[in-house]
Structure 1
């Protein structure tokens, strides 16, 4: 029978957890796990598609579903004939839930980048977000636990560590003394001087502490790539989302960082068609892409999620949401094209990955020379770009 297969959808935290599940299930056969996502209605649709596809491809396997959708969409997923069982999201890293030995050894991922989930859950109550229902309250790994995970990833060849979580900048607030994220990043850099790269996943800009700011601004091993959990460019919508930052807060943060580190690349999550959004608000969402020079954009068409306050607000028509999401994507593509143009003819230090591409420090995706070993940092001077890939 085939070895256990783990299919992961959604965020980088889910990717990190998927690797842990794969490690726990090493040696198991005849099992398919769908590690699901429920952040939007579209994500749930992709989860259902993945379940059906997995059943078609492995009709005789035992198919289990875990992840956020396994909690938030429990009744709907358990009713699917393809599904043999559900594992609660809170239990998915517990070997007992899978009936495997707790001491099951980890296996090499073979990835050039290691994803380390330093934090899980969320204590905030954004009006559009269902994830706290599937992830629970914020809880952090200790510094010692994170260092152990980083060391494990490096043992398996990772040359870049990506720190991930649901609300990464809340790391430490549940630990004794309430350490801040900057302290964790500094501890990693000091413990592993041979580690070439540390990259941060999505951050809440209003919670970036002074030490983390300084590391972003001046530490070459912290990659010049800041992905903001921004969500919108209009202050009234941000207020209705129950976000804790304003448009000005985001702009001032980016401006202060770029004064210190001009090569900083900005990414952002943006929601299109949030309830009550009018054309003026949509225009503000578009214009913040220009103001912050967002080149890594994650655009989410708003979809009402069960039990959230935003689902009870006046909704924007679905065709309008679709068009506004397309407008946002188009604007990001325009900024990204100009940004990629600026890389032409400049030597880049690229971390080679298994698929023949890699990423520059600012997360530009680059084709690497044939024969470049995954995990090696190679110098590439692009001469052109096509479909978002520097060549």
Structure 2
């Protein structure tokens, strides 16, 4: 295999945390002089995600026959041997190894024939996570900052803790320094990311909470807009609720890890909240911040789910006044407790229920869009003609705007899932 002296190519599959880690890997690979390589950062949240990862690996090998193919991410961490067995793959590295300079130094200019085919640790033994200082990524408007990794909870359907390990937090000072650096680079919005974001601080001295981190960021930095990604609403602390109520720089948009709307299914999922808890949280947050919008993850077709159970999920969309739905048809993940539960739901029925949930979500989006007509929003421009409101709604502009800037705009219409200005 010969080097073409070409920079490495990165492909990211899955969550925002993966996207953040890809940017860190780009820096590590550049510093190590990695050349003529293709790196695929995989996802394992569903069987479909794993299938797409394998499909992407094969495609990238066909397009880059002389490159070294390196596979990492959650799917690689959970099942490294199966990826190493693919003829298209040269090296498999774990989720901890991919963030290590030593790993990338070993894949540098002299890597040919010298790197181990599988470099994957015991993720459950990892007790720390590092906050990598990067200059941001994606558009020149929004950047993501990892504040937490792993998860201590074991929802019966979820394979991700086996790919990410136990919960561990990035110290607040490191997070603040990262955000200050991003603000200096010109970013107007920062999104806090993690696997189980509301568990941040539980492993740090004094056991601070996510709300403490949010208040500290807003106190010590000049970041114009701070956004939180997915949270477990049952773990929302007093300071987080205070920030929602009193901090205009904290965006009025939360994505909730709800998963279901029926108490019996929630118990079988080993979730820590009940239906009424979710509804109460949304009511409380809306009283504090009337303009807040909610997204949510909901699973359709969990084992033993009856029509009545499903109807409770469907009704939850209205009861919580959800706007942005991420609907997941239940996917069996071998190695999880749910995989052993009998009374699996028929695959066709799962698809039908998922379609009903998505239709309910589409209806909620249209209601939200209609309610914005005539309102004025502060829109963060992601491209010359498209930006997002404080509630993360897309806005399409007729005239070009400065990319990366926050512009004031009055909503004049809607088109599809977008607002017009």
Alignment TM class, shorter chain as reference:
over 0.9
Q: Which residue of 1 aligns with 2:337?
A: 309
Say which of 55, 62, 65 aligns to 2:71: 65
User: Are the aligned partners of 1:128 and 1:308 in contact in 2 as well (CA < 8 Å)?
Assistant: yes
Deviation sequence 1:50-109 (CA, Å, 0-9, x none): 212222322221111111000123232222222111111121111111117999986866
Instruction: Name 2:153's counterpart in structure 1.
Output: 124
Partner of 1:147: 176
Corresponding position: 1:181 with 2:210: yes
Deviation at 1:153, TM superposition (A): 2.1
**Contact 2:23–2:134 at 8 Å: present in 1 too?**
no
Aligned length: 390
Deviations 1:342-390 (A, max 9, x none): 1122221110113742210011111245432222001222322223121
Aligned to 2:12: 8
1:215–1:107 distance in 2 versus 1, CA, 3 Å? closer
* Of 203-212 and 10-19, the range deviating more from structure 2: 10-19
Residues 32 and 62, structure 1, Cα contact 8 Å, conserved in 2 = yes
**Secondary structure of residue in 2 paired with 1:66:** strand
**The one of 203, 206, 215 aligned to 2:243:** 215
* 1:47 aligned onto 2:53: yes
CA deviations over 1:299-358 (Å, ceiling 9, x no partner): 111111121000001211111111111111111001111111111222211101137422
1:249 aligns with 2:255: no
Task: Please name the residue that 1:19 is paired with.
Answer: 23
Q: Say what the alpha-carbon RMSD is for the aligned residues.
A: 1.9
* Counterpart-to-counterpart distance in 1, 2:135 and 2:143: 13
Counterpart residue number, 2:114: none
Indicate if the aligned counterparts of 2:133 and 2:178 stay in contact, CA closer than 8 A.
no
Residue pair 2:8, 2:37 contacting (<8 A) in 1 also: yes
Instruction: Report how far residue 292 of structure 1 moved.
Output: 1.1
CA contact (8 A) 2:136 2:182 kept: no
Change (3 A) 1:286 1:108: closer
TM-score, scaled relative to structure 2: 0.89
Provide structure 2 residue ranges, at least 5 long, that are not aligned to the other structure. Answer: 109-131
Alpha-carbon spacing, 1:390–1:109, altered in 2? closer, same or farther (3 Å)? closer
Q: Give the Cα–Cα distance (whole angstroms) in 2 for the partners of residues 261 and 108 of structure 1.
A: 30
Is the counterpart of residue 373 in structure 1 residue 379 in structure 2? no
Aligned partner of 1:138 in structure 2 is 167
Q: TM-score, normalised by structure 1?
A: 0.95
Could you say which residue in structure 1 is the equivalent of 2:326? 298
**Structure 2: distance between partners of 1:122 and 1:9:** 20
Q: Deviations over 1:112-166 (max 9, x none)?
A: 1110110000000100000110100100010111112212222332211100100
SS where residue 89 of structure 1 aligns?
Answer: coil
SS of 2:264's equivalent in the other structure is: helix
Secondary structure of the corresponding residue to residue 228 of structure 1 = strand
**2:263 corresponding residue in structure 1:** 235
- Structure 2 residue matching 1:96: 3-state secondary structure: helix
Contact 1:116 1:149 in 2 (8 A): yes
Partners of 1:152 and 1:56 lie apart in 2 by: 39
Instruction: Note the residue ranges of structure 1 that are not aligned, 5 or more in a row.
Output: none
Taking a change above 3 Å as real, the CA distance of residues 274 and 104 of structure 1, as seen in their structure-2 partners, is: closer
Take 1:109 and 1:324, find their aligned partners in 2: how far apart are those partners?
34
Task: Evaluate the alpha carbon distance shift between residue 98 and residue 370 of structure 1 in structure 2; reply closer, same or farther with a 3 A threshold.
Answer: farther
**CA distance in 1 between partners of 2:84 and 2:305 (Å):** 35
Alignment pair present for 1:33 and 2:61: no
2:183 and 2:107 map into 1 onto residues whose CA distance is: 24
Q: Which position in structure 1 is the counterpart of 2:192?
A: 163
Q: Which has the larger radius of gyration?
A: 2
CA distance in 2, matches of 1:174, 1:90: 18
2:97 matches 1:91: yes
Is the contact between residue 357 and residue 367 of structure 1 (CA under 8 Å) also seen in structure 2? yes
Q: Give the aligned partner of residue 120 of structure 2.
A: none
